[in-house]
């Protein structure tokens, strides 16, 4: 959209101009957009905010030093999309053919040396750490590394004799096509200390003129099929701890937990079967968390970023009591898939079943998870085609997920002190003319932004409840 195509753009609230609102009332209105001609619009959204701000300056001292005082409180923040572009970005996997065209529109006759295309894909990490070299000396240590996954060059236009090519005014299209490597690529990723990116870059060279450049990124999703024996295997474990504080034992706490498989996809519900045995003299609180760990590796050193993406809180277990979970449901939010094959970037998930004991550190049992892209198919034949796997789930791509879900707790609230100390000390072993590129690709059901609603969840109700006359026990391997 260009400003010349907009005749007027205004926001009108319903009711009188001096209308006032109170808590709980609905604010309604309309956005009025008048255009002079047909215009393409990517999106239109309305954002409402309530903010209290205070700011002043004070002059202090003989040297006229000003002190700046400021404060701000946000009372609410709402966002609503009126127009939203629902088309997915181009999505590919290993061995796919990337095709498209470069469009060049000229207002007059133009001389061109060459038009070249360069497709690249890299995993890169970088971070800095401050080091001390004495009581008064400090320096910054840089860590960086990269892995190349794609490097392809093509010449779209160039005269055979090395002379310039004269193009007349008008629209010119230059198609291109290349195949991604057959060996496994790595899923696109954006993190705090690193990224995995793929793009196509085009350069237009002309005599006695600056080089025109255009860059178009595309997404690679490497399929992870959870319908494999390793990812369909149940995960279970048991852990206990003696609760102590100031040389006093309060008793033992134990947790036993099991999930039916290791592999899941975003949007699924994980039924958690667990038993909490509280032999202490204090009440405890059982909880479950899904955690994500991003690991960045460079020069034998690693940097980790951990976060909690989903949480489940159980009922208080009284002193010398036992609590059993019969498939308590914890839902996987729309997160990115696991990345396990990259040498310098890894994304891993874990289900942590914890017991919060007052006055002492937590007892946590960890069960590994793999977040895949191809959902479970308990019936029917399987196919190796990624697009056919997703053919029944394309509708949920066009539905937006909730704008502001309630944030999960910080990772520090669920990780134990012993785990934090071990991970902090861990070390891994050494290991103008409009020039636009348009990629063409069938719609895929998984995108890097993960900004669409996940596939329909499975039932959160146990279809085969146990009889009431049987004492419920946790499932064990």
What pLDDT is attached to residue 471? Answer: 41
Provide the residue ranges of all domains of the chain, joining segments of one domain with +: 3-84, 91-220, 229-431
pLDDT digits (tens, 9 = 90+) for 33-46: 888 888 877 778 88
Helix (H) or strand (E) holding 420: helix 417-424
Q: What is the pTM of this model?
A: 0.64
Dist. CA 286–CA 309, nearest whole Å: 17
β 285-298/269-278 pair status: unpaired
| CATH code 2.60.40.640 for 229-431 | yes
Dist. CA 227–CA 376, nearest whole Å: 6
- What class does CATH assign to 91-220? mainly beta
What pLDDT is attached to residue 15? Answer: 80
What pLDDT is attached to residue 434? Answer: 46
What pLDDT is attached to residue 111? Answer: 92
State both tokens at 93.
């996997």
State both tokens at 399.
């539905």
Compute how many other C-beta atoms are within 10 angstroms of the C-beta atom of residue 79. Answer: 11
Q: What is the DSSP letter of 463?
A: S
Specify whether the CB–CB gap between 231 and 261 falls below 8 A: yes
CA distances from 354 to 257, 290, 321, 347, 419 (A): 10, 11, 16, 22, 13
DSSP string, 57-124: EEEETTTTEEEEEEEEEEEEEEEEEEEE--PPPPEE-TTPEEEEEEEEEESS-EEESEEEEEEEEEEE
β 91-92/212-220 pair status: parallel
Specify whether the CB–CB gap between 129 and 123 falls below 8 A: no
pLDDT digits (tens, 9 = 90+) for 258-316: 999 999 999 999 999 999 999 988 899 999 999 999 999 999 999 999 999 999 999 99
Dist. CA 462–CA 425, nearest whole Å: 42
Q: Which comes out higher in pLDDT, residue 249 or 370?
A: 370
Dist. CA 198–CA 200, nearest whole Å: 7
Mean pLDDT across 326-335: 95
Q: Which comes out higher in pLDDT, residue 67 or 193?
A: 193
Mean pLDDT across 104-113: 92
pLDDT digits (tens, 9 = 90+) for 48-87: 888 898 888 877 666 666 677 788 888 877 777 665 544 4
Please classify residue 219 by burial: count the beta carbons closer than 10 Å to its beta carbon, then call 0-12 exposed, 13-18 middle and 19+ buried: buried
Whether 91-220 and 229-431 share one fold: the answer is: yes
Q: What is the DSSP letter of 225?
A: B
């Amino acid at each position: 959209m260009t400003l010349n195509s907009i005749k007027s753009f205004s926001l009108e609230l319903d009711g009188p101009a001096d209308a006032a609102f109170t808590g709980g009332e609905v604010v309604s209105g309309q956005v009025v957009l008048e255009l002079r001609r047909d215009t393409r619009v990517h999106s239109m959204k309305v954002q409402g905010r309530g903010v209290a701000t205070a700011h002043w300056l004070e002059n202090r001292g003989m040297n006229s030093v000003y002190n700046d005082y400021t404060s701000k409180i946000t009372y609410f923040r709402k966002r609503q999309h009126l127009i939203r572009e629902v088309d997915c970005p181009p999505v590919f996997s290993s061995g796919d053919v990337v095709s498209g065209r470069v469009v060049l529109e000229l207002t007059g006759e133009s001389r061109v040396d060459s038009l070249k295309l360069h497709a690249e894909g890299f995993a890169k990490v970088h971070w800095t750490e401050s080091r001390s070299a004495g009581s008064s000396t400090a320096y910054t240590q840089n860590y960086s590394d990269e892995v190349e996954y794609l490097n392809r060059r093509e010449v779209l236009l160039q005269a055979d004799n090395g002379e310039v090519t004269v193009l007349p005014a008008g629209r010119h299209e230059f198609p291109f096509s290349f195949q991604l490597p057959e060996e496994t690529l790595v899923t696109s990723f954006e993190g705090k200390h690193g990224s995995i990116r793929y793009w196509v870059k085009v350069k237009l060279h002309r005599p006695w003129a600056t080089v025109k450049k255009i860059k178009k990124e595309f997404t690679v999703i490497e399929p992870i099929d959870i319908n494999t024996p390793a990812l369909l295997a149940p995960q279970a474990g048991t852990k206990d701890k003696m609760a102590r504080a100031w040389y006093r034992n309060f008793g033992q706490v134990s947790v036993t937990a099991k999930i039916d498989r290791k592999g899941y996809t975003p949007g699924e519900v994980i039924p958690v079967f667990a038993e909490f045995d509280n032999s202490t003299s204090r009440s405890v609180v059982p909880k479950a968390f899904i955690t994500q760990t991003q690991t960045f590796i460079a020069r034998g050193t690693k940097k980790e970023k951990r976060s909690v993406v989903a949480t489940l809180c159980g009922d208080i277990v009284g002193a010398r009591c036992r609590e059993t979970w019969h498939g308590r449901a914890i839902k996987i939010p729309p997160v990115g898939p696991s990345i396990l094959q990259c040498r310098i970037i890894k994304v891993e998930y874990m289900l942590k079943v914890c017991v919060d004991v007052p006055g002492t550190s937590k007892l946590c049992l960890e069960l590994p998870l793999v977040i895949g892209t191809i959902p479970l198919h308990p019936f029917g034949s399987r196919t190796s085609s990624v697009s056919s796997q997703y053919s029944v789930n394309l509708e949920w791509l066009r539905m937006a997920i909730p704008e502001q879900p309630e944030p999960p707790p910080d990772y520090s609230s669920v990780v134990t002190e012993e785990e934090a100390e071990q991970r902090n000390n861990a070390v891994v072993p050494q290991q103008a003319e409009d020039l636009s590129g348009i990629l063409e690709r069938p719609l895929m059901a998984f995108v890097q932004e993960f900004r669409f609603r996940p596939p329909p969840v499975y039932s959160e109700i146990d279809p085969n409840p146990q009889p009431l006359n049987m004492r419920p026990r946790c499932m064990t391997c």
